[in-house]
Amino acid sequence: MLQLTNTRKVFARGTVDEVTALDGINLDVYPDNFVTIIGSNGAGKSTLLNIIAGVFPPEVGGKVIINGDDITKLSEYKHAAYVSRVWQEPSVGTAGKLTIEENLSLALSRGMSRGVRASLNKQRRELFHSALVPLRLGLEDRLSTPVGTLSGGQRQALALVMATISKPAVLLLDEHIATLDPRTAQTVLDLSDMVVRQERMITLMVTHNMEIALHHGNRLVMMHKGKIIVDIGQQDKQALTVSDLVTAFERAAGEQLTDESILLSQR
Amino acid sequence: MLQNILASAVSDGLIYSFVAIGVFLTFRVLAFPDLTVDGSFVTGGSIAAIIIANGGNPFLATIAAFAGGLACGSATGVLNTKLRISALLSGILMMVALYSINLRIMSGANIPLLRDITIFESIAHFFGTTKDITLVIGVLAVSALIFFIVLNWFLRTEIGLALRASGDNEQMVRSLGSDTDKNTIIGCAISNGLVAFSGALVAQNNGFCDVNMGAGMIVMGLAMVIIGEALFRPRGVASMLLSAIGGAFIYRLFITIALRLGLAPGDLKLITAVLVVLALAIPYIRKKVRHEWVPPAVKF
């Protein structure tokens, strides 16, 4: 279980640019929750993920607890034992100069102390092979190919496997299909659904697209100006449409929804 | 004549191949342009020289020099990762600081070793011969082989892989649970350990250590790495290490021939610098000519 209590984040404090990116978030995410997070630019979605991933800590008083362990003050690399992440850019989640198997080996050592054991051996290669087969991209036969030669979609699929191969408790998908072309995006999205179902990790998926937020996952959270303004479970979510969502937003936020990026992505 | 040129290129190539591998580790593996090298090379030489001049065991002296290099590199790594000083400046600061430290280690600007038992004489004595070029090449080849085997193994371990990845995608490495600060410090330490080891061998081979013998070492190391890459186009850990060693040999072959043709030794650094400038500029100019996008100049 992932618990965020009283999570606040203020940037550029004491300057004219002061921004309250997160304004006291309280969120309990239960095992088997696949939460889609939606919100306009500046709503605090990325800040939320950055705090869970340990890129920076929340303001004093906030807490991040995963399966009972308080990880609020741990440095970023120690968060890796609890949290994995797939970024918007495929190049961020994978190392282009290293091979597919080397990337996977790095991911397999997540949460363990790295020693002078061989990073690759027959047993590991077999594991990587079987982890890549479900992607149906043929990557399992190209283990020694440098990742830099793969397409964006292939790299993102690999990043997804890297985020799940050692099964940390929480998976963060940070607009991970935003830079892919529509067809590849759909493939990666389907893969994400499959992986989340198989590995049963707590998953938070940030998206700009309301349709995607509605049709994936089993809980929907909408953020606005650093606050959670809508939090809907699976049952209510199934009956929901995009226009319901817009209405819900306008009621909760007390203003008209004008953010172009959200309106544009309604289709 | 030709045999002489080759023999001296092989022995010089091998003795500086440790610098080439060290520079390869920082510049290429870690993507950390470490200029500590000019100082740590002399630190290695001066530690070995002061121990040997005082009658110490030349093997222990060489190992102590390696350890001294590890310390220099760790310090540079700490300046960069813990105090957030840029990589270039961290190296420059260490290089300057080491100049004073090296003078202190030697209690002066140089130490002659002409009448002392160096590692080469010690090994020659063991085999019942005297120090000659064959023996020097033999000793250097064995040391290079040992470092090659150890590094080839180390860079494939879990920690070695994390180190290689740190130079490629630091953000990813952190997010996969590896301490990139630690990786940088370890990488810089090993790199400067190798450089100091080379300095210790050079001092013992030449029969003296001088506080200025490290000047331009970083550019020379870079030239060797670049030549190796251009000629051997390495892929994979083993071939990259071998191409650094090969680059060191080819570079020294160049230099030896240039000297035989009557070039003044004082011009060597200029030639080396021009070589590196060309190697770095050609890919950029090629892109410019093809109207490809090129990134803006990097200030730091």
Q: Do A93 and B172 touch (CB under 8 A)?
A: yes
B169, A162: Cβ pair inside 8 Å?
Answer: no
Question: What pLDDT sits at residue A208?
Answer: 84
Q: Report residue B83's pLDDT band, with 50, 70 and 90 as the boundaries.
A: very high
Q: What is the pLDDT of residue A267?
A: 40
How many Å apart are CA A204 and CA A218, to the nearest integer? Answer: 11
Which stretch of A27-36, A76-85, B202-211, B289-298 has the lowest confidence by average pLDDT? B289-298
A266 CA to centre of own chain:
21
| Mutation target among A55, A74, A77 for the B interface, most CBs of B within 10 A | A77
State whether A120 and B156 contact (CB < 8 Å): yes
HEC string of chain B?
CHHHHHHHHHHHHHHHHHHHHHHHHHHHHHCCCCCCHHHHHHHHHHHHHHHHHCCCCHHHHHHHHHHHHHHHHHHHHHHHHCCCCCHHHHHHHHHHHHHHHHHHHHCCCEEECCCCCCHHHHHHHHCCCCCCHHHHHHHHHHHHHHHHHHHHHHCCEHHHHHHHHHCCCHHHHHHCCCCHHHHHHHHHHHHHHHHHHHHHHHHHHHCEEECCCCCCHHHHHHHHHHHHHHHHCCCCHHHHHHHHHHHHHHHHHHHHHHHHCCCCHHHHHHHHHHHHHHHHHHHHHHHHHCCCCCCCCCCC
Alpha helix segments (H runs only) across chain A: 45-53, 76-79, 90-93, 100-108, 122-132, 152-164, 182-199, 210-215, 234-238, 242-253, 260-264
Rounded CA separation A178/A212 (Å)? 11
Contact A60, A103 (CB under 8 A): no
The whole-number pLDDT of residue A141 equals 95
8 Å CB contact of B159 and A114: yes
Q: How many residues does chain B have?
A: 300
What is the structure's pLDDT at B284?
87
Residue keyed to tokens 């030697």: B106
Q: Which two tokens stand for residue B57?
A: 């065991």
B74 vs A121, B182, B299, CA distance in Å? 31, 10, 24
Asked if A91 and B173 come within 8 Å (Cβ–Cβ), the reply is no
Most confident of A162-176, A252-266, B39-53: B39-53
DSSP state of A94: S
- Residue B288 tokens read as 């410019």
In DSSP terms, A3 is beta-bridged to A28, A65
Q: Tell me: pLDDT of A260 over 70.
A: no
pLDDT of residue B198 exceeding 50, the answer is yes
The reply to whether residue A119 touches residue B158, judged by beta carbons under 8 angstroms, is yes
Task: Sort out which chain B residues have CB atoms less than 8 A from A78's CB and list them.
Answer: 177
Q: Round to whole Å and give the CA distance between A138 and B21.
A: 36
- Mean pLDDT (chain B) is 94
DSSP, res A14: T
Contact between chains at B157 and A102 (C-beta distance less than 8 A): no
- Those residues of chain B whose CB sits closer than 8 Å to some CB in chain A are 154, 156-162, 164-165, 168-169, 171-180
Pick the residue with more confidence: B98 or A197?
A: B98
Distance set, CA A168 to CA A126, A157, A210, B291 (Å): 21, 18, 27, 46
Element (H, E) at A222: strand A219-224
Q: Which residues pair with A9 in a beta bridge?
A: A22
For testing contact with chain B, the best of A106, A112, A147, A158 (most B CBs within 10 A): A106
Least confident window among A40-44, A50-54, A86-90, A131-135: A40-44
Looking at the predicted structure, is the pLDDT value of residue A186 above 70? yes
Whether residues A111 and B177 touch (CB distance < 8 A) is answered with yes
CB neighbour burial string for A246-255, b if at least 16 within 10 angstroms, e if fewer = bebbeeebee
Q: Is the pLDDT of residue B109 over 90?
A: yes
The beta-carbon neighbor of A116 closest among B159, B176, B180 is B159
Q: What is the mean pLDDT of chain A?
A: 89
**CB spacing of B176 vs A105 below 8 angstroms:** no
Q: What is the dihedral of CA B87, B90, B95, B99, to 10 degrees?
A: 180
Query: Are the beta carbons of A188 and A160 closer than 8 angstroms?
Result: yes
**Distances in Å between the alpha carbon of B140 and those of A239, B11, B238?**
76, 7, 19
d(CA A64, CA A95): 28
- For residue B1, what pLDDT band results from cuts at 50, 70 and 90? confident
Minimal Cα distance from A77: which residue of B? B177
pTM, 2 dp: 0.91
Copy the structure tokens of residue A247. Answer: 């209405």
The pLDDT-based confidence of A59 (bands split at 50, 70, 90) is very high
pLDDT over threshold 80, residue A262: no
End-to-end, the C-alpha distance of chain A in Å comes to: 34
A81-96: average pLDDT: 94
Q: How far is A128 from chain B (nearest CA, A)?
A: 16
**3-class secondary-structure state, position A174:** strand
For residue A119, the tally of other CB atoms under 10 A from its CB is 23
CA angle, A154 then A156 then A160, to 5°: 115
| Percent of chain A's residues with pLDDT above 70 | 95
The tokens for A194 are 């499959």
Residue type, B177: G
Determine how β-strand A170-174 pairs with β-strand A202-207: parallel
% residues pLDDT > 90 (chain A): 63
* Residue percentage of chain B with pLDDT more than 70: 100
Taking only residues 86 to 105 of chain A, the set having a beta carbon closer than 8 angstroms to any beta carbon of chain B reads: 91-98, 102-103, 105
Helix (H, G, I), strand (E, B) or coil at A146: strand
Report yes or no: A107 at the B interface, CB cutoff 8 Å.
yes
Shortest Cα distance from A109 to chain B (angstroms)? Answer: 8
Between chains, do B164 and A162 touch, taking CB under 8 Å as contact?
no
Partner residue facing B175 (CB), from A80, A117, A118: A80
CB pairs under 8 A between A and B: 88
